[in-house]
Structure 1
């Protein structure tokens, strides 16, 4: 394979792999909103059951910093490709076992406990996925196309949402509600095994990152995460950058299903179809935003996304509350476009905020912390606010608050490490043959 084709192959493999990982991650969110409360938490009220189910969804986000730290450590010492293979295996096994998990009616309290443990396993897997896929694409890319190439793995998130929504929609259309609740909800989880096998074949054929090879020849850090933690002026704004989009996206992808159902605004199948359209718009806007960022700069494009989404928080729920399909479609599609604009340059901007020897650890942990502070809490906070007020006003105000955090973080973050840094001082590194 020619050198010019290799970066495209790596970026495409990253896109496919992250699509599979996010499919696995988001089928859980859809199931949590639609079916997990009665299947795994039947002894509590409907609201409490929904909160419990969404709390298990949040566990996956809580596990992501752990996965990011562990896989970031080994990714900075042993290589990006190995950790990408490991993350896909971990995610695939966890998802398959959820599809096979007995419900509360069969094994009692063990069912929700095992569900939480398996969700934690999913979070470990995806915690190492984002950083590795982004870095492998970024570090293989031609110098002037690093933003675009690193954006392609980001497209895997909305495409994973599309795939998850389409599979759930197909199952819902084929079976009745009772059959879906009884066993058919397991089908999307079991299908994951085939997708993971395909993704593993692709990843095992990839070459290691050229930048990592140069870093390894110069010497790797003994403790890359410790180095990252010693630079809070980089880590904290890098984490804050992701809070708004992660939070708003999970309000849309997870909470909105329950919101429109509770208020009888839009049917479940219609909402799933709208989610598919939204994710497709998100996926289309993302590489376009990356190309735009290559022309005018990464930070200005990210700021457009952050400001636009913050301003959309109130119109989003106003349009949902019209109870019309058109209103829900406009609300979600505009938000999806904002997600794409806000994340088109995000991967390169976060990754290059950290020098290459600690880049996997830094970018993975920063991304995961932002996801916990935003995405993990957002569906739970939204459910509580809705239960107390019966409207989306409080939720909109909450999203605006997340937007202000991300706005400050975007303005504060500097991302200067586009090139491989000079070799590290001898006291900070170990020779190539050292192991973790």
Structure 2
């Protein structure tokens, strides 16, 4: 009897331990996966400013034109992301979260590795920017399927009442990926120098390829972690109830058109803020003073960005906590109001002739902290808008369509506005987009107490 009792107790302990073990694996898998995906994405964003205008596009007397062409290919990925969310969402809602996440990681990683192998415009002419654009499009497909899958992996395995805090882990992949990508570029710039006028020097000659080639190692690590995962219990429950759909993308437009629209506009201000304080600000910071920009050394500006990104890291868990305790709607409302106030500070911190490294660092750190606060709850908010059998597709479409409206065009519009009207106009642009998001947030339902199996 005692042996039988001991065996039963051991089995019970093992059963209790499995959810905790699985949650730890989910935390690791979702964080590593999104870190790799965002690393690949940011490596391109950094190179779009510091490398591609000089190596992949025909030379122009106006450096702003080369930058705008590079930003155009940068924006291609955001056009591809909704398509990626449909493709991967289809399989994610039919086959499962785990297998689909493996596919999205491979798509992004292989495309990034190929970018590191591409010949330049001087070597093969117009085929070079065409190949670069194609690989950028493939990056967008991969990331379009990655985020929503990682968010669902976290939310659908979370403990009751702690969903936003569990969902913060894939969100942390964004700043972690940024730190890795920009940190590696900084090391390369310090080691080899950076000269826009000499494409044969070490950095523009070959060293810029290292971050892209290195991504294949990170992908291998991410695959190893993801193969160890189980399917989420919420998805298993939906399949057991016979809720599998033949065409999730058609069903989500039929049953959840309002959540699709709401989710898109809830995210649009968040995206605009982030790509203003990462991609656009880099081009404005290192651009020449003769063209109305700040003229800071590239490596100095990278240091400022790497310091400020820790504001992003700190903001995510803070907002995750408040989203679980006071609610998603209230948390996002107050943060968006703060972003609107922040939009009035562009001229104060960034005016050419008055801006200093200190003022730029303060501007970046505030922006990054606000980004962490608004971005942190999103991986809980968007999935909570949709039923299980269309959740991967619905959350992915909302997230990635907002990337077109917010992120894809933000660096392009901000560059044009700053060149013609100055940095105050860029702040007004952020103000307008943030007001749109605020309206969407004020009309959303509070979802922190919703059962994911019941909506």
Which TM-score bucket, shorter chain as reference?
A: over 0.9
Over residues 76-98 of structure 1, what are the superposed CA-to-partner deviations in whole Å (9 max), with x where a residue is unaligned?
00001111100110000000000
More off after superposition, 75-84 vs 296-305: 296-305
Q: Which residues in structure 2 correspond to 1:122-137 (within 5 Å)? A: 122-137=139-154
Q: Which residue of 2 aligns with 1:273?
A: 303
Q: Which residue of 1 aligns with 2:238?
A: 215
Cα distance between partner residues in 1 of 2:340 and 2:133: 32
Q: Which residue of 1 aligns with 2:442?
A: 411
The structure 2 residue matched to 1:205, chosen from 214, 221, 228, is 228
Size of the alignment, in residue pairs? 422
Q: Which residue of 1 aligns with 2:112?
A: 95
The structure 2 residue matched to 1:334, chosen from 357, 366, 369, is 366
Q: Which residues in structure 2 correspond to 1:230-245 (within 5 Å)? A: 230=254, 231-245=256-270
Residues 65 and 378 of structure 1: CA distance in aligned 2, closer, same or farther (over 3 Å):
same
SS at match of 2:116: helix
Q: Which residue of 2 aligns with 1:303?
A: 333
Q: Which residue of 1 aligns with 2:387?
A: 355
Cα distance between partner residues in 1 of 2:364 and 2:50: 19
Shift of 1:229: 1.5
Q: Which residue of 1 aligns with 2:197?
A: none
SS at match of 2:385: coil
8 Å contact from structure 1 (residues 164, 188) kept in 2: yes
More off after superposition, 155-164 vs 175-184: 175-184
Shift of 1:415: 5.5
Q: Which residue of 1 aligns with 2:63?
A: 46
Shift of 1:422: 5.7
Q: Which residues in structure 2 correspond to 1:2-81 (within 5 Å)? A: 2-44=18-60, 45-81=62-98
Q: Which residue of 1 aligns with 2:213?
A: 190
SS at match of 2:369: helix
2:344 paired with 1:319: no
Q: Which residue of 2 aligns with 1:346?
A: 378
Residues 101 and 154 of structure 1: CA distance in aligned 2, closer, same or farther (over 3 Å):
same
Structure 2 unmatched runs, 5+: 1-16, 195-200, 288-292
Q: Which residue of 2 aligns with 1:378?
A: 410
Shift of 1:420: 4.2
8 Å contact from structure 2 (residues 329, 446) kept in 1: no
Over residues 39-81 of structure 1, what are the superposed CA-to-partner deviations in whole Å (9 max), with x where a residue is unaligned?
0113333211100000100001110000011111110000011
2:410 paired with 1:387: no
SS at match of 1:257: helix
SS at match of 1:169: helix
8 Å contact from structure 2 (residues 144, 400) kept in 1: yes
Cα distance between partner residues in 2 of 1:308 and 1:166: 29
SS at match of 2:258: helix
2:249 paired with 1:225: yes
Cα distance between partner residues in 1 of 2:217 and 2:223: 10
Residues 239 and 188 of structure 1: CA distance in aligned 2, closer, same or farther (over 3 Å):
same
Shift of 1:12: 2.2
Cα distance between partner residues in 2 of 1:422 and 1:310: 35
Q: Which residues in structure 2 correspond to 1:148-167 (within 5 Å)? A: 148-167=165-184
2:317 paired with 1:287: yes
8 Å contact from structure 1 (residues 61, 371) kept in 2: yes
Cα distance between partner residues in 2 of 1:375 and 1:90: 21
SS at match of 1:41: coil
Over residues 150-201 of structure 1, what are the superposed CA-to-partner deviations in whole Å (9 max), with x where a residue is unaligned?
1110110111111111000000000022321121111111111111111110
Q: Which residue of 2 aligns with 1:249?
A: 274
8 Å contact from structure 1 (residues 266, 324) kept in 2: no
Structure 1 unmatched runs, 5+: 424-436
Cα distance between partner residues in 2 of 1:249 and 1:420: 29
Cα distance between partner residues in 2 of 1:294 and 1:270: 38
8 Å contact from structure 1 (residues 302, 410) kept in 2: yes
More off after superposition, 168-177 vs 272-281: 272-281
Over residues 94-139 of structure 1, what are the superposed CA-to-partner deviations in whole Å (9 max), with x where a residue is unaligned?
0000000000000100000011000000000000010000001111
Cα distance between partner residues in 2 of 1:286 and 1:87: 24
Cα distance between partner residues in 2 of 1:317 and 1:166: 28
More off after superposition, 122-131 vs 268-277: 268-277
The structure 2 residue matched to 1:142, chosen from 159, 163, 174, is 159
The structure with more radius of gyration = 2
Cα distance between partner residues in 1 of 2:382 and 2:272: 18
Q: Tell me which stretches of 4 or more aligned residues in structure 1 moved more than 6 Å.
A: none
Q: TM-score, normalised by structure 2?
A: 0.90
